Homo-oligomer: A and B are copies of this chain.
Amino acid sequence: MNLTGELLIGGGATRGAQGEIRGVNPATGEVLDPAFGGATLQNLEAACAQAAAAFQPYRALPYETRATFLEAIAEHIEALGDDLIVRVMAESGLPRARLEGERGRTTGQLRLFASVLRDGGFLEARIDPAMPDRKPMARPDLRLRNIPLGPVAVFGASNFPLAFSVAGGDTASALAAGCPVVVKAHPAHPGTSEMIGRAIQSAVAACGLHPGVFSLIHDSGFEISQALVADPRIKAAGFTGSRRGGLALAAIAQGRPEPIPFYAEMSSINPVLLFPAALAARGPAIARDFVGALTLGAGQFCTNPGLILALDGPELDGFLTAAEEALSPVPAATMLTPAISRVYADGVRALAQTPVVKQVAVGQEALQNQGQAALFGVSGADFLAHPHLAEEVFGAASIVVRCADLAELHKVVVALEGQLTIALHMDEADHVLAADLLPDLELKAGRILVNGFGTGVEVAHAMVHGGPFPATSDSRVTSVGTLAIARFLRPVSYQNLPGALLPDELKAENPLGLVRRVDGKLNLI
Task: List residues of A whose CB falls within 8 A of some B CB.
Answer: 56, 59-60, 101, 115-116, 119, 121, 124, 126-128, 136-137, 139-140, 142-144, 147, 149-150, 250-251, 254, 258-259, 261, 418, 426, 428, 431, 434-435, 438-440, 442-443, 445-452, 456, 458, 460-464, 466, 468-470, 473-478, 482-483, 489-498, 500-501, 515, 517, 519-522, 524
B522–A493 touching, CB < 8 Å: no
A515-B493 Cα distance, complex, nearest whole Å: 24
Chain B residue numbers with a CB within 8 Å of A520 are: 115-116, 119, 461, 482
A448-B426 Cα distance, complex, nearest whole Å: 53
A458–B501 touching, CB < 8 Å: no
B150–A443 touching, CB < 8 Å: yes
B469–A491 touching, CB < 8 Å: no
9 nearest interchain CB pairs? A449-B495, A464-B493, A144-B462, A142-B462, A126-B462, A447-B493, A128-B462, A128-B460, A475-B490
A428-B498 Cα distance, complex, nearest whole Å: 9
Instruction: Tell me the number of copies of this protein.
Output: 2
A478-B434 Cα distance, complex, nearest whole Å: 36
A439–B498 touching, CB < 8 Å: no
Partner of A492, one of B126, B127, B447: B447
Chain B residue numbers with a CB within 8 Å of A121 are: 517, 522
Partner of A464, one of B101, B470, B482, B492: B492
Nearest-neighbour CB distance to chain B for A271, whole angstroms, equals: 15
Partner of A496, one of B438, B451, B495: B451
A400-B139 Cα distance, complex, nearest whole Å: 29
Chain B residue numbers with a CB within 8 Å of A59 are: 439
Nearest-neighbour CB distance to chain B for A296, whole angstroms, equals: 13
Beyond A442-B492, A461-B128, A524-B522, whether A259 also contacts B450 by CB under 8 A is no
B144–A493 touching, CB < 8 Å: no
Chain B residue numbers with a CB within 8 Å of A251 are: 254
A492–B445 touching, CB < 8 Å: yes
Can you list 19 A-B contacts with CB-CB less than 8 angstroms, sorted by A residue number? Answer: A60-B439, A101-B136, A115-B520, A121-B517, A127-B462, A140-B452, A144-B483, A147-B443, A254-B254, A446-B491, A446-B492, A448-B495, A449-B494, A450-B496, A450-B497, A450-B498, A461-B520, A462-B493, A524-B524
Nearest-neighbour CB distance to chain B for A178, whole angstroms, equals: 11
Chain B residue numbers with a CB within 8 Å of A519 are: 461
Partner of A489, one of B434, B462, B469, B476: B476
Q: Which residue of B lies closest to A143 (CB)?
A: B462
Partner of A460, one of B142, B483, B496: B142
Nearest-neighbour CB distance to chain B for A121, whole angstroms, equals: 7
Nearest-neighbour CB distance to chain B for A60, whole angstroms, equals: 7
A498-B466 Cα distance, complex, nearest whole Å: 22
Nearest-neighbour CB distance to chain B for A301, whole angstroms, equals: 15
Which of A56, A451, A495, A500 has the most chain B CB atoms inside 10 A of its CB?
A495
Chain B residue numbers with a CB within 8 Å of A426 are: 498
Nearest-neighbour CB distance to chain B for A466, whole angstroms, equals: 7
Nearest-neighbour CB distance to chain B for A150, whole angstroms, equals: 7
Nearest-neighbour CB distance to chain B for A335, whole angstroms, equals: 24
Q: Which residue of B lies closest to A448 (CB)?
A: B494
A473-B490 Cα distance, complex, nearest whole Å: 13
Nearest-neighbour CB distance to chain B for A329, whole angstroms, equals: 25
A497-B448 Cα distance, complex, nearest whole Å: 8
B491–A464 touching, CB < 8 Å: yes
Nearest-neighbour CB distance to chain B for A5, whole angstroms, equals: 35
A473–B101 touching, CB < 8 Å: no
Nearest-neighbour CB distance to chain B for A52, whole angstroms, equals: 11
Nearest-neighbour CB distance to chain B for A56, whole angstroms, equals: 5
